[in-house]
Amino acid sequence: MQITANDTFDRLSPVALSSGALASVQIYDFLRDSIIRSQIRPDTSLSEKTLCTWLGVSRQPVREALLRLASVGLIRTYAQRGSVVTRISLAHLRDAQMIREAVEVEMLRRALAVATPADHDSLSKELSLQRTFLEHDDTEGFYASDERFHRRLGEIGGLVSMWRDLETVKAQLDRIRYMTLRDRPKMQSLLDDHASIAAGLAAGDEAAATAALRKHLRQVLLDLGAVQAEHPDYFERI
């Protein structure tokens, strides 16, 4: 059953667009994050008119944001129907995981060659933050810190632009990742993986670091069955 945007936005906090960034980028970020966090569910209709009224903006930035969401597979646009939030495609998910693993392993290898004590310290600080978020069952904080940890590996290795490209590839993966974070043992497991990756990097042990990263990134595929069983309406029908 299709869900209307009005039904969804009635439950969301108002969005205050700032003057410091393009409106289309802010709208895209808001909608992307809301879809990933299941605040906007699959099959929700996102009409330009409703979004313009709710956000208090013209159609142009809304249209640009919707086009970008369609390019990363989070919505589909239909003639006469407008835009609808997609269900998760298993084929797309597996392709995205393979791409993400290949890219992040290369990021880590490059980071191993150039990492400084300050870089290791920045990862340690992020791990400390994750422990705090875990203690307080702060899913939002942990998810954001998880993203920073992985982005930091790209920054250390000098591949920031590649991380930005990867963010568009992994949108469907992020939907699964966020759903699993509601489980406290899962957060602990992810934290342990991050600690193993950081330890391998600090020791200059490529084999240990890359093995830990591969294990970490493949976990999303192992979690699929449980997520599908709990949320069958989030996935495309085969």
Q: Residue 162 has what pLDDT?
A: 87
Burial class (CB in 10 A: 0-12, 13-18, 19+), 32: buried
Q: Residue 150 has what pLDDT?
A: 96
Mean pLDDT score of the chain: 91
Residues 6+ apart with CB under 8 A from 151: 160, 163
Residues 6+ apart with CB under 8 A from 163: 107, 150, 151, 154, 155
**What is the residue type of 179?**
M
Q: Residue 36 has what pLDDT?
A: 94
Structure confidence at residue 183 as a pLDDT band (50, 70, 90)? confident
Beta-sheet strand order (sheet of 45-46): 45-46, 82-85, 75-78
**Residue-wise pLDDT tens digits, 11-32:** 676 677 887 788 999 999 999 9
Q: Which domains does the chain have, with CATH numbers?
A: 5-85 (1.10.10.10), 90-234 (1.20.120.530)
Query: Is it the case that residue 4 has pLDDT exceeding 60?
Result: no
Query: Is it the case that residue 81 has pLDDT exceeding 70?
Result: yes
Q: How much is the average pLDDT of 63-75? A: 94
Q: Tell me which residue of 180, 217, 189 sits closest to 100, measured CA to CA.
A: 217
Q: Residue 79 has what pLDDT?
A: 77
Q: Tell me which residue of 114, 191, 181 sits closest to 153, measured CA to CA.
A: 114
**Residue-wise pLDDT tens digits, 206-231:** 999 999 999 999 999 999 999 999 99
